[in-house]
Structure 1
Amino acid sequence: MSSLRIYNDNDFSQPLVFTEDGAEISRQLNEAGIRFERWSTRELDEGATPDSILAAYQEEVEKLKAENGFTTADVVSLTPAHPQKDEFRKKFLDEHRHSEDEVRFFVRGQGLFYLHLEDKVYVVLCRKNDLISVPNGTKHWFDMGPEPEFTCVRLFTNPEGWVAQFTGDEIASKAPRFEQLIEEA
């Protein structure tokens, strides 16, 4: 089940808010300027290819492209067997921002988005059928866990894809990691 925790950015000992209610997650995030929604499930084969995944969600992807000016969409998958899983995890664990919206739709699996908004950190556990859109310039980081298992549709306005500007802030190292939060759930 998806969840949202909101912490003070200087105290990760206890969340100010915790909810697993999808409508409440959406409301809280929308109030903070973050798009969060649940899409309908599509039947996909276990070994679905990126092209078949994009075809299954073509209507939704095209709508997002039209609304937001995205020019490309792709599919990224990571499994515990991936030889570079540790490197990929480390790459996303530092606070950064982008010059374009970061949009992810979880086709399967899960991951944690940490959104540093003013003096709060919103920790969003995204799971299958969740769409999150992090506006450009938003400080954030992503934790896929030590044994990543997810497939996401990504949308971009920049044909180069994922380009981060790291903030240098150490806040991500102070926040609870994927393993800790998943055990608590």
Structure 2
Amino acid sequence: MSSLSVYPESSADLPNKVLTHLEDIASTLAAVGVHFERWQALTPLAPGCSQEQVLAAYRPQIEQLMSERGYAAVDVLSLSDEHPDKAELRARFLDEHRHAEDEVRFFVVGSGLFSLHIDDYVYAVLCEKGDLISVPAGTRHWFDMGEHPHFVMIRLFSNTDGWVAEFTGDDIASRFPRLDD
């Protein structure tokens, strides 16, 4: 089940609020400029399907977002516990960073934890199958795929170079709960 935990920046021990209803999560995130919604595939997907099959299943939603928001590239990232570089890939996303463009992710399968550092709060968003999150350009955040990753996600980019991060150097991410906590 998707959830949103909102923590004061100074206290990772106890969130101010925990939300599990889609409408509550979406409205709370919208208040800080983050878009969150749920998509349904028009075509069922079989385990092990190709990137082309994943993109075809969500083509209307992808095309609408690309048209409305000017995204120039789309790809599919699939990671499982068997991936030989899973620890290095996890570490790459765990430090606080920001991007010059929106970070748009749709979870086709599995889950991941986006933690957004906005003003004096950390918004920990557990995204699961069917969730779309759009983090505005410049938003400080980090992503945890867990020690045993299992996800397939669609990524949309304005920059055709794909994922380009500017790390903040702040150690805040190390003080907050991870996906496996």
TM bin (shorter chain): over 0.9
Question: How far apart in 2 are the matches of 1:49 and 1:68?
Answer: 26
Question: How far apart in 2 are the matches of 1:128 and 1:179?
Answer: 17
Residue deviations 1:104-137, cap 9 Å, x none?
Answer: 0000000000000000000000000000000000
Partner of 2:180: helix, strand, or coil?
Answer: helix
User: 1:78 Cα deviation (Å)?
Assistant: 0.4
User: 1:40 Cα deviation (Å)?
Assistant: 1.4
Please name the residue that 2:133 is paired with: 132
Partner of 1:151: helix, strand, or coil?
Answer: strand
Question: How far apart in 2 are the matches of 1:162 and 1:40?
Answer: 25
Partner of 2:82: helix, strand, or coil?
Answer: coil
Mean Cα displacement is larger for which, 34-43 or 118-127?
34-43
Partner of 2:114: helix, strand, or coil?
Answer: strand
User: 1:47 Cα deviation (Å)?
Assistant: 1.5
Question: How far apart in 1 are the matches of 2:177 and 2:79?
Answer: 22
Q: What does residue range 147-158 of structure 1 map to in structure 2 within 5 Å?
A: 147-158=148-159
Runs of at least 4 residues of structure 1 off by over 2 A?
none
Please name the residue that 1:183 is paired with: none
User: 1:144 Cα deviation (Å)?
Assistant: 0.4
TM-score (norm 2): 0.98
| Count of equivalent residues | 180
Please name the residue that 1:13 is paired with: 13
User: 1:89 Cα deviation (Å)?
Assistant: 0.3
Please name the residue that 2:74 is paired with: 73
Please name the residue that 2:28 is paired with: 28
RMSD between aligned residues? 0.6
Give the share of equivalent positions with the same residue, in percent.
52
Q: 1:2 is matched by which residue type in structure 2?
A: S
Q: Which runs of 5+ in 1 are unaligned?
A: 181-185
Question: How far apart in 2 are the matches of 1:77 and 1:10?
Answer: 34
Residue deviations 1:48-83, cap 9 Å, x none?
Answer: 100110011111000000111101100000000000
Residue deviations 1:136-175, cap 9 Å, x none?
Answer: 0000000000000000000011111000000000100111
Q: 1:21 is matched by which residue type in structure 2?
A: H
Matched, 1:109 2:110: yes
User: 1:45 Cα deviation (Å)?
Assistant: 1.1
